[in-house]
Amino acid sequence: MADTQTSTVGRYLAARLEQIGLKHYFAVPGDYNLVLLDELLSNDNLQMISCCNELNAGYAADGYARATNGASAVCVTYSVGGLSLINAVAGAYAEDLPVIAISGGTNTNSEAEHELLHHTLGKIDYGYMREMFARVTAESVQITNVLDAPTQIDHAISTALRLRKPVYLEVAANIANAPVSMPHAMALTPGWKSDPQSLAAAVEHAAKLLNAAAKPVLVAGVQLRSGGAEAAFGDVARNCGYGVAAMPNAKGFFDETHPQYMGIFWGSVGSPGCGQIVSSADIGLWAGTTFTDYSTVGHSALINPAKMILVRPHSVVMPGRTYNDVTLSEFLQALAPKLQTNDASLSAFRRIADEKQAPDLGRPDDPLTTRAMFSRIQQMLDADSAVIAETGDSWFNGMQLDLPQGSRFEIQMQYGSIGWSVGATLGYALGNRDRRVVALIGDGSFQLTAQEVSTMIRYGVRPIMFLINNGGYTIEVEIHDGPYNTIKNWDYAGLMAVFNAQDGNGLGLKATTPGELDAAIDKATGHDGPVLIEVTIGRDDCSKNLLEWGGYVARNNSRPPRTI
Ligand code: TPU
Ligand code: MG
């Protein structure tokens, strides 16, 4: 007997989103996706989150995937929606986040009839969105045929989950409610398995090198998350006893309260003593680390490939040999029991590590400094916090926070698209309502995506956002200054009243002194809704690490062209 139960393409897609653990999706409507949204809405286990624009919806999906360590979805209309979304999807690609980007598509008859359509480029071309998204996704498909729809949907979703990358699914407007069979039971998450021979050889080789070393170290990298390997990394660390560092974009991936934790490896702007120990190790196990001009301080950090075991998502590179088809998590799991204990790097670190700087809370009526502000933010953090640090001086101040066990830290350091944190805060807060999001957002970044605070109010999430009003693009000032780095001032705290209108419960507060900030934080922590605390900081009050990092990055950017 054939399966007589029927569904529709849109309902099938909704069922699969529910199956992979989604409880929400982010959406902006338009005539090409309205029928699709109706179909998605018929699933009572998924909540539509209506955003102000598609870029922000994409950033929200990015934050949601981070919060759940799973996937997320965003649904937009054709072309005008998709092209606004594409920057956020590119960010998710760079950051290894499986965002399912769904777009309404044109009516399937339009192509056959050579019909010129609204929202398009004004020429006969029905594939350009798929082509553009193909560059920023692992799979980009147009669903124009009912028979193929279930296969295309399942394939795209499992690709996103397997590769931890976004995918683009364009559902033709007249296919969204066309009948298909109900989804059948299947896992959708086919794990990536290592080649057993490669895995065994890689583990044996690595164990030999590490066990023979005098002062090996262990470094956590950003791909530990997408590789599902944070726990395995912790096992390796505990078994070997080495000093452990984290790259800046992997902050918090290893418990910062653990006695083996040395700090952030970020060249000259990392944690005191950490760089010296990592750079002087005779071998390092670098797990899921990536090296960019930003994460290596303009390539000034001392990283010697000859003393490196680099564990990538699907390969291990060792001095003189590369092992392919080995997954990060399986490699670490298999390596953990093979390592002998060696605390030489950790002992050396303890000898040179400086005392932690005492918090500097400042006097109640003095002008507020970043130091006084971050000393207070430090005190707010607990196991349930998630810090979201926007591009800007927030990276450098945020990096110095000591994360309590269990708390999380999010940074978009590979892509670094300003404005990301506002959408990401919305998405993160919805993805994990048990955590209190503490967002650190510069004024310049906020101006790109500010309106999404209204969506936080609409759905009653309760992040505390520190809006750092320093009058401009300080990070840019330190890389290369000019008149373009000054911005128009806004009444940022006043925006909360604008967004609240008649029914919202957002709270806007201002602080110009430590005393006012204490009062604001007090109010914020007791408030049941989103809070924005606008802190006024001097234009030149930036962390010394930003100054130093900016100099190196500027030098790297301004290398003259090579001539023959
Ligand atoms: O702390 P602070 O003042 O540096 O942060 P704020 O005020 O958020 O300024 C950020 C300045 C900035 C810019 C203008 N950082 N990077 N950029 C370049 C840039 C431009 N557009 C996008 C979408 N992303 C960028 N990173
Ligand atoms: Mg600023």
Read off the pLDDT of residues 24-82 as tens digits, 9 standing for 90 and up.
999 999 999 999 999 999 999 999 999 999 999 999 999 999 999 999 999 999 999 99
Which pLDDT does position 475 carry in this prediction?
87
Q: What average pLDDT is seen over the chain?
A: 95
Q: Is ligand 1 within 6 A of the CB of residue 550?
A: no
The rounded distance, in Å, linking the Cα atoms of 377 and 354 is 22
Name, in order, each residue with C-beta under 8 angstroms of 409's C-beta and a sequence gap of 6 or more. Answer: 251, 252, 386, 387, 389, 398, 401, 403
Q: Do 387 and 284 lie in a common domain?
A: no
| Any domain includes 425 | yes
> Is 557 contained in some domain?
no
Q: What is the pTM (predicted TM-score) of this model?
A: 0.97
CATH number of the domain residue 225 falls in? 3.40.50.1220
Predicted local distance difference test score (pLDDT) of residue 2 = 47
DSSP letter at 141? E
pLDDT score for 4:
56
84, 465, 475, 544: residue to mutate for ligand 1 pocket, most atoms within 8 A of CB: 475
Task: Output the CA 553–ligand 1 centroid distance in Å.
Answer: 14
Is residue 491 one of the residues assigned to a domain?
A: yes
CA 476 / ligand 1 centre spacing (Å): 7
Listed residue (456, 394, 391) closest to 419, CA to CA: 391
Segments of 212-351 assigned E as strands = 217-220, 243-246, 261-264, 284-287, 308-311, 315-318, 321-324
Q: What is the mean pLDDT of residues 158-166?
A: 96
Question: Which of 352, 379, 409 is where one domain is finished?
Answer: 352
Q: Is residue 187 part of a domain?
A: no
139 lines ligand 1 (CB under 6 A): no
pLDDT at 564: 64
Ligand number with the minimum distance to the CA of 446: 1
Is the pLDDT reported for residue 407 higher than 70? Answer: yes
Give the domain CATH number at 544: 3.40.50.970
Domain region containing 456: 370-552
The reply to whether 378 and 517 lie within a common domain is yes
Sheet holding 464-469, edge to edge: 408-411, 385-389, 436-442, 464-469, 531-536, 507-511
Domain match, 323 and 407 both: no
Question: Would the CB of 392 count as within 6 Å of ligand 1?
Answer: yes
List all residues 6 or more positions away from 266 whose beta carbon is below 8 Å from its beta carbon.
247, 248, 275, 295, 297, 301, 399
What is the percent of the chain with per-residue pLDDT over 70, rounded to a whole number? 99
Q: What's the half-sphere exposure (Cβ side, CA atoms, 13 Å) at 114?
A: 0
In angstroms, rounded to a whole number, what is the distance separating the alpha carbons of residues 374 and 397? 7
393 lines ligand 1 (CB under 6 A): yes
**DSSP H/E element including 204:** helix 196-212
CB-CB neighbours of 559 under 10 Å: 8
271 and 380 share a domain?
no
Asked whether residue 559 is domain-assigned, the answer is no
CB 474 less than 6 A from any atom of ligand 1: yes
Residue 108 lies in a domain: yes
Ligand 1 atom closest to Cα of residue 393: 1
Give mean pLDDT, residues 154-166: 96
Point out the least confidently predicted range of 117-121, 188-192, 410-414: 188-192
Whether 486 is covered by a domain: the verdict is yes
The number of the ligand 1 atom at minimal distance from the alpha carbon of 441 is: 8
18: Cα within 13 Å, side-chain hemisphere: 17
Q: Cβ(261)–Cβ(274) under 8 Å?
A: no
**Rounded-to-integer distance, Cα 491 and Cα 500, Å:** 15
Is ligand 1 within 6 A of the CB of residue 421?
no
**Which of 62, 293, 391, when mutated, tests ligand 1's pocket best, judged by the most ligand atoms within 8 Å of its CB?**
391
User: How many domains is the chain built from?
Assistant: 3
Cα gap 239→336, rounded to integer Å = 6
**By C-alpha distance, which of 81, 80, 71 is closest to 46?**
71
Are 19 and 167 members of one domain?
A: yes
Nearest C-alpha neighbor of 420 from the set 90, 28, 24, 115? 90
Q: Which ligand is the nearest neighbour of the Cα of 420?
A: 1
Average pLDDT over residues 279-293: 96
Cβ of residue 442 lying under 6 Å from some atom of ligand 1: yes
Do the Cβ atoms of 100 and 71 come closer than 8 Å?
yes
Give the residue with greater pLDDT, 550 vs 43: 43
Same domain, 400 and 544: yes
Atom of ligand 1 nearest to the CA of 542: 1
Task: Assess whether the C-beta atom of 137 lies below 6 angstroms from ligand 1.
Answer: no
Same domain? For 201 and 176 the reply is: no
Distance 493 CA to ligand 1 centre (A): 20
Whether residues 420 and 278 fall in one domain: no
pLDDT for 130: 98
Same domain, 292 and 252: yes
Ligand 1 contact via 91 beta carbon (within 6 Å) = no
Q: CB of 476 closer than 6 A to ligand 1? A: yes
Residue 533 has pLDDT above 70, yes or no: yes
Looking at 352, 382, 404, which one is the last position of a domain? 352
User: Residue with the nearest Cα to atom 23 of ligand 1?
Assistant: 417
Q: Which two tokens stand for residue 353?
A: 């590590």
- 419 with 508, same domain: the answer is yes
Q: Say yes or no: 545 and 410 in one domain.
A: yes
CA distances, 272 to each of 252, 277, 289, 381, 400 (Å): 17, 10, 20, 22, 11
What integer pLDDT is reported at residue 1 of this predicted model? 42
User: Could you tell me if 429 and 437 are in contact, meaning their C-beta atoms sit under 8 angstroms apart?
Assistant: yes
Question: Residues 230, 324: one domain?
Answer: yes
Domain-ending residue, one of 155, 181, 207: 181
